[in-house]
Amino acid sequence: ARRASTPPSSGAMPPRRTRSGSAPAASSGTTTRFFQRHSNVYAYVPNIIGYVRVLLAAAALRLALDDVPTSLALYALSFVCDELDGRVARMFDQCSEFGKLLDMVTDRLATTGLLMVLSREYPNWFFTCVSLVALDIGSHWLQMYAQLLRKKSSHKDVDDGSFFILRLYYTNRMFMGACCVGAEVLYLAAHAATDPRILAIAGPLAGALPAKVSVPLPAALGFGTELSVECASALGQLALVALPFWAVKQAANVAQLVTSCEALVAHDFPKRKRA
């Protein structure tokens, strides 16, 4: 009679061996799941990009006062990561609340660090830099808190009755991106201008623009006594292009601050519904 084979005691088939006697490589399913939505949010691809961005921004700020070109390159790479993480999150369906907060907090802290560097490089503009930090962090924090009280899914979910500039800022991704990039470019141009080698690079419109544009400012307000832009340099021309977008972003921050304060007051004292 043919002898019956005895199954393994564990009830599972033993792993198949290759000709060399070693077990075969693991299935690519694990790799596939890595690029899909899974339970380990910390290991989401966009969040890993976010960690890299934090390291790049920290290194850029560490070298800012010692090696301007390297700090500019590192900060630019961190800014690229900021653009990539959102796209990757949507591509792999790995959007998460942790990732959203990581992105926003990194935005605020990186800009704060850059403004603190500028306050060291331009002492007369110290109060201006501090004011910009307070406006940026304060308006975003109040907006987040007000939207949570109103059970909104995101601080970008603004009502139709909000300021036009705020609705345009949060509903038009290209407009918001242009404002954010413009603000960062303006700060980076000011930082780069502290390196004489970079400042000496002539811009393409050097002959068409005045060599220098100066705007006097009231010292009583705590700002620098004069706003000067070297228009002949590439940095000056870049700053002139970025300046309007920076101004719109600050206007959006002010609108955000006012709207969120009104929302908090309305939460404490809601309007009575008309009969």
Q: So which residues are the catalytic ones?
A: 107
**Degrees (nearest 5) of the Cα angle 169, 116, 174?**
20
Q: Decide: residue 214, CB within 10 A, 0-12 exposed, 13-18 middle, 19+ buried.
A: exposed
Q: Residue 158 has which token pair?
A: 């603004």
Q: Which residues contact 52 (CB under 8 A, 6 or more apart)?
A: 81
CA–CA separation, 203 and 213 (whole Å): 15
Residues 6+ apart with CB under 8 A from 164: none
